[in-house]
C-alpha cells in the first residue's frame, strides 16, 4: 500500500477549481488522459494516451467540499479523496491517494509513480485555471 498526498493553492474562486476537477466531459486540460467514458452517474473510465483504462467508482461527492472515488485497473486498486476549501479569495486543494499494487514487482515503484502523477495533475490544473476567464 502506498499513500500520497498533495496540496496546492490557486488564486481563483473555488467554484472554478471544482468545475474543472469534477468535469467528466471537459478534460482536455489533462495531459495524462486521452478520453473519459462515463458509464453511469457513479462510474467512469479514464484512458491514458496509450489506451490503458482505469475504472473509477464515485463514493462521495459534496458540492464544493469533497469528491472521492475508488479506482482499479490491471495493476492497482485504491481510493482517491479530494478536499476543497476557500479562504481570502484563494482555493486550496488537498488530494490523497491510497493505492495497492496488484503485482509484486510494481510495489516498490507505486509511491514514486503516484507522486509524479499528482505533480503533473496540479501543473495541468494550474494551466487550466490560468486560461479560464
Look at residue 17 and tell me if it is in a domain. Answer: yes
Chain mean position to CA 132: 19
Q: For residue 104, give the C-alpha cell.
A: 509484486
The count of domains in the chain is 1
Mean pLDDT value of segment 97-126: 93
Look at residue 72 and tell me if it is in a domain. Answer: yes
We report the CATH number of the domain holding residue 95 as 3.30.530.20
Q: What is the DSSP letter of 12?
A: S
Look at residue 16 and tell me if it is in a domain. Answer: yes
Look at residue 108 and tell me if it is in a domain. Answer: yes
Q: What would the pLDDT profile of 46-87 be if each residue is shown by its tens digit?
A: 999 999 999 999 999 999 999 999 999 999 999 999 999 999
Look at residue 124 and tell me if it is in a domain. Answer: yes
- Tell me what pLDDT residue 132 has: 57
Q: What is the CA radius of gyration of the chain?
A: 15
Q: Torsions phi, psi of 87, nearest 5?
A: -150, 135
Look at residue 70 and tell me if it is in a domain. Answer: yes
Q: For residue 49, give the C-alpha cell.
A: 494516451
Q: What would the pLDDT profile of 20-35 be if each residue is shown by its tens digit?
A: 999 999 999 999 999 9
- Write out the residue range of the structural domain in which residue 8 sits: 2-21+56-131
**Is residue 105 pLDDT above 90, yes or no?**
no
Look at residue 68 and tell me if it is in a domain. Answer: yes
Buried b (16+ CB within 10 A) or exposed e, 116-131: eebeebbebbeebbee
Helix or strand run (H / E) with residue 55:
strand 53-62
**pLDDT confidence bin for 14, thresholds 50/70/90:** very high
Q: pTM of the predicted model, to two decimals? A: 0.92
Q: Which residue's C-alpha cell is 493553492?
A: 9
Nearest CA-CA partner of 67 in 52, 54, 53, 56: 56
Look at residue 62 and tell me if it is in a domain. Answer: yes
Amino acid at each position: 500500500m502506498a499513500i500520497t498526498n498533495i496540496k496546492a493553492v490557486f488564486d481563483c474562486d473555488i467554484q472554478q477549481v471544482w468545475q474543472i476537477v469534477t468535469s467528466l466531459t471537459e478534460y482536455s486540460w489533462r495531459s495524462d488522459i486521452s478520453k473519459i467514458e462515463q458509464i453511469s452517474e457513479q462510474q467512469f473510465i479514464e484512458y491514458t494516451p496509450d489506451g490503458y483504462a482505469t475504472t473509477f467508482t464515485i463514493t462521495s461527492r459534496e458540492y464544493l467540499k469533497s469528491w472521492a472515488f475508488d479506482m482499479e485497473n490491471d495493476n492497482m486498486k485504491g481510493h482517491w479523496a479530494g478536499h476543497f476549501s476557500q479562504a481570502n479569495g484563494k482555493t486550496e486543494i488537498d488530494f490523497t491517494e491510497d493505492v495497492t499494487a496488484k503485482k509484486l514487482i510494481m510495489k516498490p515503484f507505486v509511491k514514486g509513480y503516484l507522486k509524479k502523477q499528482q505533480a503533473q495533475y496540479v501543473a495541468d490544473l494550474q494551466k487550466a485555471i490560468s486560461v479560464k476567464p
